[in-house]
Structure 1
Amino acid sequence: MTEPGFDFHALTPEHQLDAIESVGIYPQSGLLALNSYENRVYQFVADDSKRYVVKFYRPARWTDEQILEEHAFCQELVDAEVPVVAPLVRDGTSLFHFNGYRFALFPSVGGRNFEVDNWDQIEAVGRYLGRIHQVGAARPFQARARFDLDTHLYQPRQALTHASLIPDGIKTTFFSDLDRLIDAISERWHTNWPIIRLHGDCHPSNILWRDGPLFVDFDDTRNGPAIQDLWLFLNGSRADQLAQLDTLADGYREFSEFPADQLQLIEPLRGLRMVHYMAWLAKRWQDPAFPRAFPWFAEAKYWESQVLAFKEQLAALQAPSLTLYP
């Protein structure tokens, strides 16, 4: 099972170099593949002695308009002095085409890993997320998708019905428990939140630490509830998560009103991410990069473990929502 229009096999090293040179940048080093599965991303040094990153977009995933909205949002954040990595503009555009492939170029930046147990860093992330959402609230995306149950729950549920990797012996139990989880999420979901532009996939690995946080990879940016960019930083016991949430909120409030009324969406969003992630792997399985990177996805014990994960998430949905300290 694969996405229509999938075609990375023709993206040879020679093709990559020709594409980069077509916009007047000439690599002087080899292309170092970076950790990306959805797209193809490489780092290189050019003849100006600068390091660059080139991203070749997965065919048929986003339209040109959707990609350009992502780029424009990143540039808007840079203009507002928010630390994000925006694509380079050459000859008036940031999205380039070469022999059927679309690509963008970025400055290569370095940094340390964000420390998920560092309270100062957590507060700083909250502060800058408040700034990102301050900019994102100015107007919604017009072309990019909205974060909703259809795209992140119902469509993934349909995709999983075609997943050939689910063992026959557990299919009935798997889908029965999955549907119970979907029903519970749907009952607790609400849409009475302001529609703002989000990072969309703001987990700790998408933050580099320099003198402060540097936000990267806006590939999943979309309209949605502000809490989507916050809950991924919560981990550990309930007491740990309450402390992390309070620290994030302290920083966030410096620039934006904290969305306390969206706290009840945290566990539904966690459930959405669980289902969406499984369906994403299933849809991409014919891409050779995926079996190499996620071999456990084809093992029966993975699917058996998901049945238990569904039950655990159902229990989390039934527990009281997190709240901020008084």
Structure 2
Amino acid sequence: MAEPAEIDDINVAHSALRAWDSVVGNAHPEPMPLVHNQVWQVFAEDGRRYVLKRLPEFAPGAGPVDTFRVLSHLQAAGVPVVLPVVTDQATIHTVQADRTYSLSSFVPSDSGNHELGPSAGETSYAVGAAIAKLDRALAECPWQPKSYVDDPVPQALGEALPSLPPELTGPVAPLARHLGATASGLPVQRTHGDCNTGNVLVRDRQVSGFIDIDHLPLGPRVRDLSYYLASRLHTHVNHRQDAERHTAAMLAVLGEYVAGYHETYPLSDRELAAVVPLMLLVEIGSASWALHGWNPDLATYRRSATTITWITDHLDELTDAAALPSTGA
């Protein structure tokens, strides 16, 4: 049975949806499975599908207007993104009961782990290339949204790592100097900033859509690639039945991801060397957030801890796997 707060959320979301009456007609929002944020899928009267999202009270980075302008640029550049659907009142979002909502088209995606599929290498290369195309378009964007600076070394090693238990600080401490040296001083630009596997939708061996592009910090461009790779590795390392087979499949295509990015938006030698260290820094930040963020989650922390331990135990193997394939540039 739904909790009173959940009933209130769905009722307010239903009222907010009326702002798009001419688009969706007599539609009702339904909670999306496997999504923790307040996001609902909407089936319009004409059969089309949409996503209704409650925007956070405080923007994670860029505000709605800046985000809309950047998304417009990305769409014009051929990057697969979705723009908010304009309301019947000619706005990009609506406010209901002091809560702000936006509506966008539903982006289809495949379920499952593509690294284990018959087209694993092709798909991984295509995803790397798509992230590179996104980053290149962001670098060329004339709009400069107000957001934060993403500086992964001090944020992960100076702030996040000291907040973690000894089970993680112990294995990472001997690597701290190497991590700091390889991940510092990298070229910076506007980036996605939250380029995890949930925000990079894949269908038929291609990226079908980038979503939740509302962080948009200034930071190392290669971190978008590392962020995605860390989230994919996180999924495989924590597979309940067959983690060993899953991580082996991930290692087998890691170089294809890097090659796809590099051949689309060439990386310097220093950036290539930083791919794996940044993956570890991403997981350190995730573990700290799981313990000390707005909604601490011990289960999420444990999964990040498992991934961090795996990376520290297999750092050389991971580094070799991330090297460009012999067929790469």
Q: 1:17 aligns with which of 3, 14, 18?
A: 14
SS at 1:15's partner residue? Answer: helix
- Aligned partner of 1:279 in structure 2 is 288
Equivalent-residue separation in structure 2 for 1:101 and 1:241 (angstroms): 43
- Aligned partner of 2:279 in structure 1 is 270
Q: 1:130 aligns with which of 129, 132, 151?
A: 132
Query: Following superposition of structure 1 onto structure 2, how do residues 304-323 of structure 1 map, counting pairs within 5 Å?
Result: 308-309=309-310, 311-312=312-313, 315-316=315-316, 322-323=322-323
Query: Following superposition of structure 1 onto structure 2, how do residues 34-73 of structure 1 map, counting pairs within 5 Å?
Result: 34-37=33-36, 39-62=37-60, 65-73=62-70
Equivalent-residue separation in structure 1 for 2:256 and 2:166 (angstroms): 38
| Root mean square deviation, CA, Å | 3.8
Equivalent-residue separation in structure 1 for 2:169 and 2:125 (angstroms): 40
Gaps of 5+ in 2: 234-246
Gaps of 5+ in 1: 1-7, 162-170
Change (3 A) 1:182 1:142: farther
Equivalent-residue separation in structure 1 for 2:304 and 2:255 (angstroms): 33
Q: State the one-letter code of the partner of 2:130.
A: Y
How far apart are residue 279 of structure 1 and its match? 2.1
Q: 1:107 aligns with which of 95, 105, 108?
A: 105
Equivalent-residue separation in structure 1 for 2:180 and 2:101 (angstroms): 37
- Aligned partner of 1:223 in structure 2 is 218
Contact 1:208/1:216 (<8 A) preserved: no
How far apart are residue 304 of structure 1 and its match? 7.8
Contact 2:156/2:285 (<8 A) preserved: yes
- Aligned partner of 2:238 in structure 1 is none
Equivalent-residue separation in structure 2 for 1:131 and 1:257 (angstroms): 11
Equivalent-residue separation in structure 2 for 1:59 and 1:129 (angstroms): 28
Query: Following superposition of structure 1 onto structure 2, how do residues 247-262 of structure 1 map, counting pairs within 5 Å?
Result: 247-249=259-261, 253=263, 255-262=264-271
Query: Following superposition of structure 1 onto structure 2, how do residues 26-175 of structure 1 map, counting pairs within 5 Å?
Result: 26-37=25-36, 39-62=37-60, 65-90=62-87, 91-113=89-111, 115-116=114-115, 117=117, 118=119, 119-139=121-141, 141-149=144-152, 150-157=154-161, 160=163, 171-172=165-166, 174-175=168-169
SS at 1:112's partner residue? Answer: coil
Deviation by residue 1:46-76 (Cα, 9 ceiling, x = unmatched): 345432111112333536x534333332222
Q: 2:197 aligns with which of 198, 203, 206?
A: 203
- Aligned partner of 1:189 in structure 2 is 183
Q: In the alignment, is residue 244 of structure 1 matched against residue 243 of structure 2?
A: no
How far apart are residue 41 of structure 1 and its match? 0.8
Equivalent-residue separation in structure 2 for 1:92 and 1:308 (angstroms): 50
Contact 2:202/2:208 (<8 A) preserved: yes
**Alignment identity in percent?**
14
User: Per chain length, whose mean CA-contact separation is higher, i.e. which structure has more relative contact order (CA < 8 Å, sep 6+)?
Assistant: 1
Contact 1:226/1:259 (<8 A) preserved: no
Moved more, 196-205 or 255-264: 196-205
Contact 1:34/1:41 (<8 A) preserved: no
The count of aligned residue pairs is 295
Contact 2:107/2:208 (<8 A) preserved: no
Q: Which has the higher helix share?
A: 2
TM-score by length of 1: 0.72
Q: State the one-letter code of the partner of 1:229.
A: D
SS at 2:289's partner residue? Answer: helix
Q: State the one-letter code of the partner of 1:224.
A: G
Q: State the one-letter code of the partner of 1:130.
A: A
Change (3 A) 1:239 1:282: closer
Equivalent-residue separation in structure 2 for 1:262 and 1:22 (angstroms): 45
How far apart are residue 143 of structure 1 and its match? 1.3
Deviation by residue 1:117-159 (Cα, 9 ceiling, x = unmatched): 522223333333333222111147431223213445544346x
